Amino acid sequence: MWQTASINPAILQFQKVEFNPDSSEIGAGGTFVFTYLAAAAGTTPLQLNNTPSTNTATVLQSFQVTVTVTP
């Protein structure tokens, strides 16, 4: 399960996450779409972690970028 792990909410605010499956089959792959609101100008790290739904303390994968919001 992908979730936001690190963000500065004064600059970038999490809005929602959607999962768009590739098919209706059980266990099908798909695409997660994360939506954020640019709240103020600045720079913030954005880190997403993929964890098992039964143990969110265990990180299976991690993705990090730096987001710059300009006026």
Q: How far is CA 12 from CA 6, 40, 56, 59, in A?
A: 11, 7, 23, 23
24-71: per-residue pLDDT in tens? 998 889 999 999 999 999 999 999 999 998 887 899 999 999 999 998
Bridge pairing between strands 42-50 and 61-69 = antiparallel
So what's the pLDDT on residue 38?
A: 97
So what's the pLDDT on residue 53?
A: 82
Range(s) of the domain holding residue 39: 2-69
Q: How many domains does the chain have?
A: 1
